[in-house]
């Protein structure tokens, strides 16, 4: 059961410097539960984000090579939580790192269903309040997860025709592969509510991680005949992906 008593202070914990810290949630945050705006942020984190919550430390971080996406995430957090992110340029990877340092926020997000730590090595699901929520909350989650984890691609088939598909893929430690599959099935089920059909989830390739464990890829696809529904009901707010989607809908290669 979620602990929604966000005003109750958690006192008496020792921080890294030996001082006593008091953590208190923002009273207004609980009013966001069930909204499309909060649902979108949950999808952002479950996609490209990372939540850390341990002892005195609490933060949410993102990494992307797309500056527009990083800026959009920063604006969403500022608008919803009134917390300013810290942006750093990763010159080696030519990307951007965005940090929101706030233990109260990290606790709040964890309590409403965001997994903390390495998502590859644990089970997590779409939060129940989104699954049981209205269509706007579901639409926002789907948009967020397809912007961060989705892609559009084409392959040549017979007679040089082009087959377009939208794909969604994630990797999961092989010990959690069935949990990963259930998560993907949740997303497929939400797509069904918008009359967007998708292929069965299938396992696809693997990676050997630095610690020697194996991560399995799993994915599903949406065929071109459902692109119109996807565009109208979910869509992307990523310029490049939207452009590719529109080109595919127009039958362009």
For the stretch 183-213, pLDDT in tens is 999 999 999 999 999 999 999 888 787 777 8
Structural domains of the chain in order of their starting residue, each with its CATH number: 18-117 (3.10.28.10), 140-249 (3.10.28.10)
- Tell which residue, 164, 129, 176, has the closest CA to residue 4: 129
pLDDT tens, N- to C-terminus, the chain (253 residues): 444 443 333 433 433 433 333 344 677 898 999 999 999 999 999 998 999 998 888 999 999 988 999 999 999 999 999 999 999 998 777 899 999 999 999 999 999 999 999 998 888 999 999 999 999 999 999 999 999 999 999 999 888 889 999 999 999 999 999 999 999 999 999 999 999 999 999 998 887 877 778 899 999 999 999 999 999 999 999 999 999 999 999 887 6
What integer pLDDT is reported at residue 253 of this predicted model? 61
What pLDDT shows up at residue 11? Answer: 39
Sign of CA pseudo-dihedral 161, 145, 168, 2: negative
User: With pLDDT > 90 as the criterion, what percentage of the chain qualifies?
Assistant: 73
Q: Positive or negative CA dihedral for 7, 129, 150, 46?
A: positive
Nearest to 233 by CA among 146, 125, 129, 126: 146
**Per-residue model confidence (pLDDT) at position 94:** 80
pLDDT digits (tens, 9 = 90+) for 143-160: 999 999 999 999 998 888
Assessment of whether the complete model's pTM goes beyond 0.85: yes
In contact, 241 and 151? CB cutoff 8 Å: yes
The rounded distance, in Å, linking the Cα atoms of 18 and 27 is 28
The token pair that represents 1 in the structure block: 């059961």
The set of residues, in sequence order, having a beta carbon less than 8 Å from that of 230 and lying 6+ positions away, is 166, 194, 196, 222, 245
C-alpha to C-alpha distance for 57 and 104, rounded to whole angstroms: 10
Q: What is the pLDDT of residue 6?
A: 38
């Amino acid at each position: 059961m979620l602990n929604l008593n966000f005003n109750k202070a958690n006192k008496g914990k020792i921080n890294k410097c030996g001082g006593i810290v008091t953590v208190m949630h923002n009273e207004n945050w609980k009013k966001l539960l069930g909204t499309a705006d909060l649902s979108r942020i949950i999808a952002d984190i479950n996609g490209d984000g990372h939540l850390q919550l341990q002892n005195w430390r609490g933060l949410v971080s993102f990494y992307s090579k797309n500056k527009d996406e990083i800026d959009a995430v920063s604006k969403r957090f500022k608008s919803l939580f009134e917390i300013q992110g810290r942006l750093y340029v990763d010159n080696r990877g030519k990307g951007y790192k965005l940090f929101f340092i706030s233990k109260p926020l990290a606790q709040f997000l964890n309590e409403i269903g965001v997994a903390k730590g390495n998502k590859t090595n644990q089970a997590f699901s779409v939060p129940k309040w989104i699954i049981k929520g209205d269509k706007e909350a579901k639409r926002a989650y789907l948009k967020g997860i397809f912007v961060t984890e989705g892609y559009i691609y084409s392959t040549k088939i017979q007679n040089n025709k082009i087959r377009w598909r939208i794909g969604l893929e994630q990797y999961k430690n092989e010990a959690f592969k069935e949990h990963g599959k259930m998560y993907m099935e949740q997303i497929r089920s939400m797509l069904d509510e918008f009359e967007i059909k998708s292929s069965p989830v299938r396992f696809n390739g693997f990676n050997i991680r630095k610690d020697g464990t194996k991560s399995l890829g799993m994915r599903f696809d949406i065929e071109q005949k459902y692109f119109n529904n996807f565009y109208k009901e979910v869509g992307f707010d990523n310029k490049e992906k939207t452009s590719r989607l529109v080109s595919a809908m127009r039958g362009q290669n």
